Amino acid sequence: MSGPRVALFVTCLVDMFRPSVGFATVKLLEDAGCRVEVPPVQTCCGQPAWNAGDRENAKAIARQVIAAFEGYVHVVVPSGSCAATIARDFERMFAADDPWAGRARALGARTHEITAFLTDVLGVTEVGQEAPVSVTYHDSCSGLRSLGIREQPRRLLASVAGLELREMAENDVCCGFGGTFCVKYPEISNVMAGDKTRHVAATGADLVLAGDLGCLMNLAGKASREGRAFRARHVVEVLAGDLATPPIGEAG
Amino acid sequence: MSARDRILGRIRAAAAPGDRQAAVAAWMAAPGGGPRPHQAMSHGPQRLTQFMQKLDAAAATVGRVSALAELPKALAHELRKRRLPARIRFGSDAIFAGLDWGTIGTSRGPGRIEEPATLSRAEFGLAETGTLVLASGPDNPVTLTFLGETHFVLLREADLCGGFEDFWTAWRERGLDPRTLNMVTGPSRSADVGQVLQLGAHGPVALHVFLLS
Amino acid sequence: MSLHEATTPAFRANARAALDNANLQAALRGSRGNFITKRAKGREDLPEFDALRDRARDIKDHVLAHLDLHLEAYEAQVIASGGHVHWAETAEEARAIVLDLCRKAGAKAVNKGKTMISEECGINDFLSANGIAPVETDLGEYIIQLRGEVPSHIIAPAVHVTVPEIEAAFRKAHAHLDPDRDLSDLAALQAEARGVLRAKYFQAEVGITGANMLIAETGHSVIVTNEGNGDLTQSLPRMHIVMASLEKIVPTLEDAATILRILGRSATGQEMSVYTTFSRGPRRPGDPDGPEEYHVVLLDNGRSNMLATPFQDMLRCIRCGACMNHCPVYQAVGGHAYGWVYPGPMGAVLTPSLIGVEQGGQLPNASSFCGRCEEVCPVRIPLPGMMRSWREREFEKRLTPAAMRRGLGLWAFAARRPRLYRIAARLGAGLLSRLGGKSGRIASLPFARGWTGERDLPAPQGGTFMDRWKAARR
């Protein structure tokens, strides 16, 4: 393969909870001609520390990510939220005159969420898959508002033969995950999750898809507690043709 | 040190260095500079049409009067149509002074606690939003604008502006200094009961504009 | 409501109570979406809307960088027009100034237009305690005053009250009216309030309003209302008192127009609110109406301390309410849960600034950082970023809860050591995967009840990506 050399930042949630999302991401990248590498020095993007106000730990983790990934032309992340942390927040963590700020900016400019990378950078229009399912798409907040990801996953889904996209009401409203928010304020988070599962269910879609595993675990966990009929998957699973892996929150 | 001195002192201590006086002078010398919406730039007949459409959108009604002498007749017609008593209250604006009001009973002065219908003259209108601009004073007491159940407003078509930009220029040129400049866009309303919009919260239930060509 | 009554530290308990309050939930559900749809339409109909937002941001930034100079110019104009300016460093000083003015006016009753600054200063309780009856005239404010409440929203103060609750409040308060009267429709309720308040407008000696803007060029105070109550409040009594905070300044009439073009659209979707009133000084010689005295109380109350800090941008706020209308947390719990004057995202940033992060620190934490508030803010205040800045202050001051600090510390220790992290992730994935068993999810997990209380935890697939990748690509 002679395509671009791409580093995968797999994210801590995908690493621990759903490795199949990582492999689906790799498949999409390789199908598009990329050479994928997985730098071994990666843990988490540091967003939990950054959002909790722990700037020192956030910076330490950011420096670790920058050092491990700045040698690659592109960094691709199967999460709008983690991609936004690297692409937008890393630079804000450092003082303007700190050399790390410049390195953070440079890495940020080369860091992409997977569906945005495929469409905007590589110009992919077809994923060559077939899936006779109805889906609805949840726009995760960071991807939507920090990175402007909205049309990209929809364009790719439109190329999946047999797939029907049914938009839900309030599809741009937070699902209530919000990182540590969901455990700091579980009652409020629960109401937000319940609104979201209601809107998903109202579409009658088989699957809710999103680009962030955090939101998806929240939605899948809420839906299974409520006994909802729909299932949850990361969008790359459908795009990569991996419907054999059990949906989120189910065992094989 | 007074509270004033301490507050201003804290603000100055936080200020960035530089010639701030000059920056303020420059700002004040060139008012405006913001984007001018297309809808604030209407001209000619289109301006009139837009104004009437915006009045309608604001739940106000409008009628045209081709000569000042026709105002009493037009008002009498509106009062009858609205089943209001043939009475009107207005201020000492010269424009109303020499008119023959016929069967309409008139009274002069500020608003009173129960007043079925009041009449004012607007200084200007804004086609941008269907807004009337009234200047308080003996000619057009401000309380007439708020205490009439139905408020009638006379506006000369020549006083109709496109939007805020030409309005402020015209306002400054006219050199008025009333206690209040009242911009009115439709009749009073509130959505505080059950989040459903209803007209006539405290001010007029209805607003009718006579456009004088 | 005043400083000492803030219940912000109890946000969590307030929120729980709000979620269990069926009437409140019904009211919140009923209004949900209204403001959002209307704002979207208002924005859509004005192609220049976003450019106007940029300009409004620039105007406010200019004002904040030159606030002292503009305040001095404004004050000179008010004095030139025959008005008076009173400077108050604190809420307490503002209360004393207002009481003094009311006494000089011989006031027994004071009418009030909608003013959040008076809420911030706790004027109502203070005047009542001093034998002067405050009467709220904004319909929503009137409703909550009858109910003994404070506003739950900065532009729709009674948004939390259902229609049957309004009827009950009116029947109780308007005991002089026929008990058998029909109040079954919304129009009857509004008409009754109109009648009761119309009489009160003519009784008060003093009218207090807020100000949406103060214009440095001319000395005008500007109020924006839909009801007309603010105008009757300021025009009929013999004294008009304006209560406004320092940052309400805009330089020129043209700048005011820019703010007006985004204010109504952001708040209710209206191109213009019904009444926008520019007031300058007392009634002129020969005027048959209008107040004989005009006073402006300029309140600081912590705002000057926000300049040149990460929270300065908050002073751009024009109080449209769009942030709370679009906030899923506000939509879930309503405004009272926030426990002080300002709810929603703008309150989550402003409250710690004004009453201290020790008191208000819960609020900037109660956000999922979804960013919808920043997206709709007409003056582009980076609200989530500023909430994060508050979290940093709390972390530095060790106000972050100990359990959270410990958990975060342990996690960060591992996250900074990839080899250790690999082992921990491998162990965690294995353990949770086994707990998930054949169902693939975990219904209850000690130490994670926040998650598993109302939702299952999807179990890991087993084996980490990093291990599987290494094995597959070796």
How is C446-464 classified by DSSP, letter by letter? TT-HHHHTTS-EEPP-SS-
Cα A26 from chain centre: 14
Tokens of A70: 């700045």
Cβ of A53 within 8 Å of Cβ of C438? The answer is: no
Dihedral (Cα; C247, C215, C155, C35), 10-degree rounding: -100
What pLDDT, on a 0 to 100 scale, did the predictor assign at position C3?
A: 44
State phi, psi for B59 to the nearest 5 degrees. 70, 20
| Structure ipTM over 0.95, yes or no | yes
Cβ pair B204, B148 in contact under 8 A: yes
Asked if C468 reaches chain A (Cβ–Cβ under 8 Å), the answer is yes
Cβ pair C279, C223 in contact under 8 A: yes
Cβ of C408 within 8 Å of Cβ of A52? The answer is: yes
CA dist., res. C312 & res. C353, Å (int): 10
Select the residue of A19, A52, A61 nearest C464 (Cβ to Cβ): A19
Average pLDDT of span B10-27: 96
pTM greater than 0.90 (yes/no) = yes
Cβ pair C379, C57 in contact under 8 A: yes
Cβ pair B205, B199 in contact under 8 A: yes
Average pLDDT of span A126-139: 97
Cβ pair C119, C128 in contact under 8 A: no
Give the SS3 label for residue B163. Answer: coil
Asked if B111 reaches chain C (Cβ–Cβ under 8 Å), the answer is yes
The per-residue pLDDT for range A160-192, each reduced to its tens digit, is 999 999 999 999 999 999 999 999 999 999 999
CA dist., res. A223 & res. B14, Å (int): 52
Tokens 């207002």 correspond to C98
Tokens 């079954």 correspond to C184
Residues of chain C with pLDDT > 90, as a percent, come to 95
Question: What band does C2 get if pLDDT is binned at 50, 70 and 90?
Answer: very low
Nearest Cα of chain B lies from the Cα of C195 at a distance, in angstroms, of 9
Cβ pair C125, C131 in contact under 8 A: no
Tokens of C243: 């209560």
Question: What band does C447 get if pLDDT is binned at 50, 70 and 90?
Answer: confident
Nearest Cα of chain A lies from the Cα of C338 at a distance, in angstroms, of 13
CA dist., res. A192 & res. A211, Å (int): 18
pLDDT at A28 over 80: yes
Chain C residues with CB inside 8 Å of A250's CB?
439-441
Cβ of A141 within 8 Å of Cβ of C370? The answer is: yes
Q: Which residues of C400-425 are buried (b: 16+ CB within 10 A; e: fewer)?
A: beeebeebbeebbebbbebeebbebb
Tokens of A122: 């590589």
List subunits contacting chain A, requiring 3 or more Cβ pairs under 8 Å: C
Cβ of C454 within 8 Å of Cβ of A48? The answer is: no
**Touching, A vs B (3+ Cβ pairs under 8 A):** no
Asked if A43 reaches chain C (Cβ–Cβ under 8 Å), the answer is yes
- DSSP state, residue B16: P
Cβ of A53 within 8 Å of Cβ of C396? The answer is: yes
The per-residue pLDDT for range A190-224, each reduced to its tens digit, is 999 999 999 999 999 999 999 999 999 999 999 99
Distances (CA, A) of C354 to A221, C66, C151, C348: 39, 21, 18, 11
Nearest Cα of chain C lies from the Cα of B150 at a distance, in angstroms, of 13
* Optimal mutation site among C68, C72, C325, interface B, most CBs of chain B within 10 A: C68
Nearest to C464 by CA among C427, C434, C415: C427
State phi, psi for A8 to the nearest 5 degrees. -95, 120
Select the residue of C34, C228, C287 nearest B146 (Cβ to Cβ): C228
Which amino acid is present at C189?
Answer: L
Cβ of C372 within 8 Å of Cβ of A172? The answer is: yes
CA dist., res. B198 & res. B208, Å (int): 17
Give the SS3 label for residue C46. Answer: coil
Q: Which residues of C450-474 are buried (b: 16+ CB within 10 A; e: fewer)?
A: bbbebbbbbbbbbebbbebbeeeee
The per-residue pLDDT for range C45-67, each reduced to its tens digit, is 999 999 999 999 999 999 999 99
**Touching, C vs A (3+ Cβ pairs under 8 A):** yes
Residues of chain C with pLDDT > 70, as a percent, come to 99
Cβ of C257 within 8 Å of Cβ of B39? The answer is: no
State phi, psi for A158 to the nearest 5 degrees. -65, -20
Nearest Cα of chain C lies from the Cα of B103 at a distance, in angstroms, of 26
- Residue C301 Ramachandran class (φ > 0 left, ψ -120 to 50 alpha, else beta): left
pLDDT at B33 over 90: no
The per-residue pLDDT for range C364-397, each reduced to its tens digit, is 999 999 999 999 999 999 999 999 999 999 999 9
Chain A residues with CB inside 8 Å of C466's CB?
10, 15, 38, 40, 42
Strand partners, C249: C214
The per-residue pLDDT for range B37-96, each reduced to its tens digit, is 999 999 999 999 999 999 999 999 999 999 999 999 999 999 999 999 999 999 999 999
**Touching, C vs B (3+ Cβ pairs under 8 A):** yes
The per-residue pLDDT for range C306-336, each reduced to its tens digit, is 999 999 999 999 999 999 999 999 999 999 9
**What counts of helices (H) and strands (E) characterise chain B?**
7, 12
Cβ pair B201, C139 in contact under 8 A: yes
What pLDDT, on a 0 to 100 scale, did the predictor assign at position A2?
A: 67
Asked if B17 reaches chain C (Cβ–Cβ under 8 Å), the answer is no
Average pLDDT of span C93-119: 97
What pLDDT, on a 0 to 100 scale, did the predictor assign at position A195?
A: 96
Give the SS3 label for residue C324. Answer: helix
Chain C residues with CB inside 8 Å of B183's CB?
272, 275-278
Asked if B29 reaches chain C (Cβ–Cβ under 8 Å), the answer is no
What pLDDT, on a 0 to 100 scale, did the predictor assign at position C143?
A: 96
The per-residue pLDDT for range C234-278, each reduced to its tens digit, is 999 999 999 999 999 999 999 999 999 999 999 999 999 999 999
CA dist., res. C176 & res. C138, Å (int): 21
Average pLDDT of span B189-202: 92
Cα C200 from chain centre: 28
Strand partners, C221: C214, C279
pLDDT at C159 over 70: yes
State phi, psi for C106 to the nearest 5 degrees. 65, 35
* Optimal mutation site among C97, C137, C226, C229, interface B, most CBs of chain B within 10 A: C226
DSSP E strands in C121-212: the ranges are 133-136, 206-209
CA dist., res. C98 & res. C128, Å (int): 12
- CA terminus-to-terminus distance, chain B: 59
Question: What band does C1 get if pLDDT is binned at 50, 70 and 90?
Answer: very low
Cβ pair A35, A102 in contact under 8 A: no
Cβ of B3 within 8 Å of Cβ of C89? The answer is: yes
Distances (CA, A) of A165 to A119, A138, A162, C90: 18, 11, 10, 56
